[in-house]
Amino acid sequence: MKLFELKYGCNPNQKPATVYMKDGSELPFTILNGRPGYINFMDALNSWQLVKELKEATGLPCAASFKHVSPAGAAVARPLTDIDRKIYFVEQKEVSPIASAYIRARGADRLCSYGDWAALSDVCDASAATYLKDEVSDGVIAPGYTDEALEILKTKKKGKYNVIQIDENYVCAPQETKDVFGITFEQGHNNFKIGEELLKNIVTENKELPKDAVIDLIVSLITLKYTQSNSVCYVKDGMAIGVGAGQQSRIHCTRLAGSKADNWYLRQSPQVLSLPWKDDVRRPERDNAIDVYTSDEYEDVLRDGEWQKVFKEKPPVFTAEEKKAWIATQKGVTVGSDAFFPFGDNIERARKSGAQYIAEPGGSIRDDNVIETANKYNMVMAFTGMRLFHH
């Protein structure tokens, strides 16, 4: 296929819309099911680059959950714990590595992953397809699909679920172009490789960077490479747990990503794990209810009686003091930034969400203040020397 005609572009009024190769060659993907739209393709092609690069850097199966051209989550494959299975609603007894990667990627921020585009670094198997089938999702991109997985996915959304197979050997042209207001921009494709060598310049007094933290920082930096800037990413155990994307202020990125990391951790608290769900409550309703339960608005919801829609009995209020105390037990989090931290306040905020390891480009006139703040909390911070803006 050399050209694919889209229903419309970003918005319904933007017609005609097509996808094609400028040199007239075949498109490097095959549409196996559905009819993806403009934004679907933007998510698919950006998310594929992320998981492909993350797999090359770590050697592990990887997955991403994308919404509006930024990752809501990204993760490498790891065995699921009993708590993982409960908070991510995993009913399958056996979970394959690529399925675990997607379950964890989506689990980072289940609210933002609602209606996502999924990307898998490896062949989609029946295990991954079975989990995807029960989630609200727009489509998936992978280098291949087993026959059983494809049949499962074709039953989703009344047979209209978008399934794209990408040529994993495709390499894009070294130069890329983009039109804005009828004016064409050209630049070299961002082929900068992110790996362990990028973390050698440790500028803090504490220079002990364990292997697990190295992997987490690589996950953070590669995630940032494909996140709309400004952006900050918190990672733990090979999984992005908070992505702050597209903010004009660095501190707002750090706060947004930190609040998402806090929400992820609150899902694991005894208060949330013991919520008395009604039997017929669907996953999206549970996600929304957990978000309300862990927010400051829950007492108002209790008074309004809304709890009766999802809970068998009224849960106790999760107080601000209890939430703060639980979040304070979070440790070993890594944080990456796509550009330098201009002030130490970013470090202060990251610390509140358990940050212990940080990677950022450096280069601020206040680097000394940022390093001093990190030293105050015995953190390990590496200056990568490389900005990772993505627009």
Nearest to 136 by CA among 162, 165, 114, 158: 114
Asked whether the beta carbons of 235 and 243 are under 8 A apart, the reply is no
Cα–Cα distances in Å, from 96 out to 207, 272, 385? 36, 27, 37
CA distance 254 to 244: 6
Is position 252 annotated as part of the catalytic site? no
> Up-side HSE of residue 9: CA atoms within 13 Å toward CB?
6
Asked whether the beta carbons of 347 and 374 are under 8 A apart, the reply is yes
CA distance 377 to 15: 54
Question: Nearest 5°: CA angle at 355, between 354 and 357?
Answer: 145
Rg of the chain taking only CA atoms, in angstroms: 21
SS3 59: coil
CA distance 233 to 123: 27
Within 63-210, residue ranges assigned H as helices are 82-87, 97-107, 126-133, 147-153
Q: Which of 40, 230, 263, 346 is catalytic?
A: 230
Query: What is the DSSP code (8-state) at residue 158?
Result: G
At residue 62, φ and ψ (nearest 5 deg) are -135, 160
Q: Which of 52, 67, 154, 236 is catalytic?
A: 67
Query: What is the DSSP code (8-state) at residue 329?
Result: T
SS3 243: strand
Question: Torsion over CA of 115, 117, 120 and 124, rounded to 10 degrees?
Answer: 60
Q: Which of 68, 157, 352, 390 is catalytic?
A: 68
E strand or H helix at 231, and its extent?
Answer: strand 231-236
Is position 390 annotated as part of the catalytic site? no
CA distance 389 to 207: 27
Nearest to 226 by CA among 65, 10, 56: 65
Nearest to 92 by CA among 141, 50, 125, 62: 125
Q: Which of 93, 211, 331, 391 is catalytic?
A: 391
Catalytic residues: 67-68, 230, 391
